[in-house]
Structure 1
Amino acid sequence: MRQFVEILAIPTRGRGLVEATAAVSQWATGLGIRTGLLTLFCRHTSASLIIQENAAPEARSDLEAFFERVAPEDPRLYAHDDEGPDDMPAHIRAALTGAHLSIPMIGGRLALGTWQGIFLFEHRRAPQRREIAAHLMGA
């Protein structure tokens, strides 16, 4: 059994989904693990990780629009606004989507489905440099 860890930097352009599949896959498949488990952890409280449709852009834009409705940016709704009016809605969106993913490695590849991609979901308006802690364990 071997273990590997890495901090992957993911730049964002502001609110929205940023596909991280290629960066994660390149790192994980380059380590020579044939069978194992990859754990990804988002090191932020106003961004999150999801596995989502990676072929049709409309799926991503519909998801982003849904979260705009669920946690709108409206200063009348929240007491917490330490970093501006998009602060608390970002925390709510991150809480609803989650900070970590587990993805099996099978045959030396991530066991994602045909249309699945790994996305960092940026919930703040301003561009950010986000970090994903990656841990791969296997043989």
Structure 2
Amino acid sequence: MRQAQAVLNVATPGRGLVEFTDQAANFVARSGMTQGVLNVFIQHTSASLLIQENADPDVCADLDRFFSRLVPDDPRLYRHTLEGADDMPAHIRAALTASQLAVPVMNGGLGLGRWQGLYVFEHRTSAQRRRVVLHLSGC
């Protein structure tokens, strides 16, 4: 069994989904491993990770609109408002989604389905740089 790690810096323009499938696939390819598990972890509490459809951008837009209705940016609803009206809603959105994903590695590539991609789901309204840790275990 071998292991490899890397940290991706994913720039987000603000709230929404940013795909990083290609960067993760390149990491797996460079590792030389053909089978195993890629663990993906985001080092933030106001952004999260999703495996989602990457064929139709309307899916990502609809998800973002749904979360905006589910968790509104209304400072009257929250005690934690020191970092802005979008911060506590960002924490709630992150709590409802994932901070870690496991993706199988098969035949030297990501074992994702045909229309699946890896995304940082940014929950803050301003641009951010998010750190995503990749840890591959395999052979």
Q: Secondary structure at the match of 1:85?
A: coil
Structure 2 match to 1:122: 122
Runs of 4+ in structure 1 over 3 Å off: none
Deviations for 1:23-57, whole angstroms, at most 9, x for unmatched residues?
A: 11111121111110000000000000000000001
> What is the CA–CA distance in structure 1 between the aligned matches of 2:115 and 2:34, rounded to whole Å?
22
- The one-letter amino acid paired with 1:130 is R
Q: Secondary structure at the match of 1:95?
A: helix
Q: Give 1:6-45 correspondences, 5 Å limit.
A: 6-45=6-45
C-alpha RMSD of the superposition: 0.6
Task: Please report the TM-score for the alignment, with normalisation by the length of structure 1.
Answer: 0.98
> What is the CA–CA distance in structure 2 between the aligned matches of 1:98 and 1:107, rounded to whole Å?
26
Q: Percent of aligned positions with the same letter in both sequences?
A: 53
Which 5+ residue runs of structure 2 have no aligned equivalent? Answer: none
Deviations for 1:63-117, whole angstroms, at most 9, x for unmatched residues?
A: 0000001110001111111210000000000011110000000111100000000
Task: Please report the TM-score for the alignment, with normalisation by the length of structure 2.
Answer: 0.98
- Count of residue correspondences: 139
> What is the CA–CA distance in structure 2 between the aligned matches of 1:81 and 1:20, rounded to whole Å?
30
